[in-house]
Amino acid sequence: MQRKTLLKRELSKLGIDGILITDLLNVRYLSGFTGSSGCIIITPKNSILLTDFRYQEQVSEEVKGFRIIIENSERSLEIRNICKEYEIKKLGFEDHNVTYGFYEKLIKRKIRLKPVQGVVESFRIIKSENEVEHVKKAVKRAESAFRKLLPHIKAGVTEQKLALQLEEFIKREGSQSLPFNAIVASGPMSALPHAQPTNRRLKKGDLVVFDWGGECGGYYSDMTRTVLINNNNISHQKELYYTVLEAQKRAIKSVFAGIKSARIDAAARDYINDAGFEDYFGHGTGHGVGLAVHEKPVVSWRNKEVIEENMIFTIEPGIYLPGFGGVRIEDMVIAGNNGAEILTSLPKKLKIIKR
């Protein structure tokens, strides 16, 4: 079914006869419009897209099945006029996206408003075949980029240089944008789950965490690999690595449509805790990926979501030992009725760099 039709069916349940979509990812999801300024109003029978003159040409190429209005006046006034024309008595709006300032403007226009939560997101969480294809291409682009980076990883090179090269390769593979700045974190820096690349040079014995992603058609990928720069004694690094890897495999194995996401988290966390690292895995096990690189579902002990068929999310446990280093291994999976399909194909055997 068309996405906007799905949304039309939700309106009466929400107690509204129109909905204003301002989150640009939701605008893109519903209409295909990729501009940086625009919003959508959906009524039971009509679909309207508002944007400004800069996007006149682009919107007519990208968007079908919507009435397009190029704004002539302040947006809140345009929205009021649409409410009048389409006899919208109560307009829903996305409360995670509309600012308080814009809410006040709408109220001053005498529009009756109702905040709604996560409506389009509840569609986005289940991926269509076409969306899965895009995510798979985003995975391929990110993986090809990493394969090209591998020969450059060696002692003496800086994190920043590697991160920049990796980003260049990701773009050259066809990604129009990056889901986030690539993370390259070596030695003690690898103990910070969200480290930004520094001018630190890779050293012998370093664990080096790479966390990066690609893009295709607006859909992202997200993955992490940890490599080791060889040294005389690397037994502690190896122990960390294979503890995380076993935890990660267990979490993946636990996935099926119907499981609570907290149980996937527990599959990884219990193993890490039992291995004696219970204080060193501070973040959740995973998150959904799609038009946003962080979206629902949340795979965490804090969460009560149930995994459904065709949800795409990451599995990325880690262990972080302050001052020493960290390991994180992240794959993307898609949930099926009998288990998970792993979308990532980069090998997970510990890569020991001997350069």
- Footprint on this chain of a copy of itself (rule: CB under 8 A): 53-55, 57-58, 93, 95-101, 103-104, 115, 117, 164, 167-168, 171-172, 176-177, 181, 192-194, 282-283
Residue 222 sits at φ, ψ, to 5 deg, of -155, 125
Q: Please list, in sequence order, all residues whose beta carbon lies within 8 angstroms of the beta carbon of residue 83, skipping any fewer than 6 positions away.
A: 18, 41, 91, 111
Distances (CA, A) of 31 to 75, 286, 348: 19, 29, 39
Task: Decide: 191 and 323 in contact? Cβ < 8 Å.
Answer: yes
* CA nearest neighbour of 164 among 188, 151, 145: 145
Q: Work out how close the CB of 235 gets to a copy of itself at its nearest, in angstroms, rounded to a whole number.
A: 27
Q: Report d(CA 349, CA 326) in Å as an integer.
A: 16
* CA nearest neighbour of 186 among 166, 171, 201, 174: 201
Collapsed DSSP state (helix, strand, coil) of residue 94? strand
Strands 67-70 and 47-51: parallel
CB nearer to a copy of itself: give 252 or 293: 293
Q: Work out how close the CB of 327 gets to a copy of itself at its nearest, in angstroms, rounded to a whole number.
A: 17
CB nearer to a copy of itself: give 62 or 341: 62
CB nearer to a copy of itself: give 192 or 346: 192
Residue with tokens 């996935």: 255
Q: Please list, in sequence order, all residues whose beta carbon lies within 8 angstroms of the beta carbon of residue 253, skipping any fewer than 6 positions away.
A: 267, 339, 340
Q: Work out how close the CB of 172 gets to a copy of itself at its nearest, in angstroms, rounded to a whole number.
A: 7
Q: Work out how close the CB of 282 gets to a copy of itself at its nearest, in angstroms, rounded to a whole number.
A: 6
Q: Work out how close the CB of 224 gets to a copy of itself at its nearest, in angstroms, rounded to a whole number.
A: 15
CB nearer to a copy of itself: give 213 or 311: 213
CB nearer to a copy of itself: give 303 or 310: 303
Q: Work out how close the CB of 214 gets to a copy of itself at its nearest, in angstroms, rounded to a whole number.
A: 14
Task: Decide: 33 and 49 in contact? Cβ < 8 Å.
Answer: yes
CB nearer to a copy of itself: give 199 or 233: 199
CB nearer to a copy of itself: give 85 or 95: 95
Amino acid at site 180: F
Q: Work out how close the CB of 103 gets to a copy of itself at its nearest, in angstroms, rounded to a whole number.
A: 5
